[in-house]
Amino acid sequence: MAIPTPHIGAQKGDFAKTVLMPGDPLRAKYIAETYLENPRLVTSVRNMLGYTGTYKGKEISVMGGGMGIPSIGIYSYELFNFYDVDQIIRIGSAGALQDDMEMMDVVIGMGACTDSNFVKQYNLPGYYAPIADYELMNRAIETAKAQGTKVRVGNVLSSDVFYSADETVNQRWRDMGVLCVEMEAAALYMNAVKAKKKALCILTISDHIFKNVALSAEERQVGFGKMMEIALELA
């Protein structure tokens, strides 16, 4: 496929080797304008904003990935396979499942359970367990320790369904020790390993499924500084 691709308007060389990928394109804009030096807009197709700049002298990009596996599946595939991106770090929000988790807790997704059919395209002879790149994950954990940020590391759920007709599903994932639910990590992890690239998902708890508490949209957009500062150090 030639670039620009159907979904990304950037030219060759416009993206850094490391891309931070929040779901919300406005969060990408906020990160670029708040944390990056000399950020420049490199793509705005469908208003899915992407920027490249520097952080502590290292080139880094940030781009929205949208909501759900089909969306991040497209953007991460094109970044890995057509723009020579080496690693994508998803930085997003998630709904907590475990009782000992609170608003703004930071979670690192070691593995990503999923109810998606995304994996079926590979025609594997069994079940596949999408996991983070170990090196990236280890660096993120050590960075969090150095910054004094407590993180939870474990399984997350990448679900295709936000409003489920089955009200028992969250309890069943919770019983299996899954920390929280989001909607993208599993596809990102599968795209990365297939392309022989690296991926990691870092999340901030924005609501609790069983406690009926949640952050506002504005708090989610601008309030995830600890997660962002971990991710920025991984470039």
12 domain residue, yes or no: no
User: Which burial class, exposed, middle or buried, applies to 177 when counting CB atoms under 10 A from its CB (0-12, 13-18, 19+)?
Assistant: exposed
- Cβ(130)–Cβ(189) below 8 Å: yes
194 domain residue, yes or no: yes
Q: pTM for the complete prediction? A: 0.96
8 domain residue, yes or no: no
Domain span at residue 198?
18-232
pLDDT, residue 221, reads 59
Mean pLDDT of the 149-158 span: 97
**166 given a catalytic annotation:** no
Catalytic-role residue among 84, 86, 115, 207? 207
1 domain residue, yes or no: no
Identify the residue with better confidence: 224 or 5: 5
106 domain residue, yes or no: yes
Per the structure, how many domains does the chain have? 1
166 domain residue, yes or no: yes
Question: CATH number, domain at 99?
Answer: 3.40.50.1580
Tens digits of residue pLDDT in 73-127: 999 999 999 999 999 999 999 999 999 999 999 999 999 999 999 999 999 999 9
30 domain residue, yes or no: yes
7 domain residue, yes or no: no
Tens digits of residue pLDDT in 17-26: 999 999 999 9
DSSP H helical ranges for the chain: 25-35, 69-82, 134-147, 169-175, 185-194, 217-222, 225-232
Confidence of residue 4 (pLDDT cuts 50, 70, 90): very high
pLDDT, residue 2, reads 87
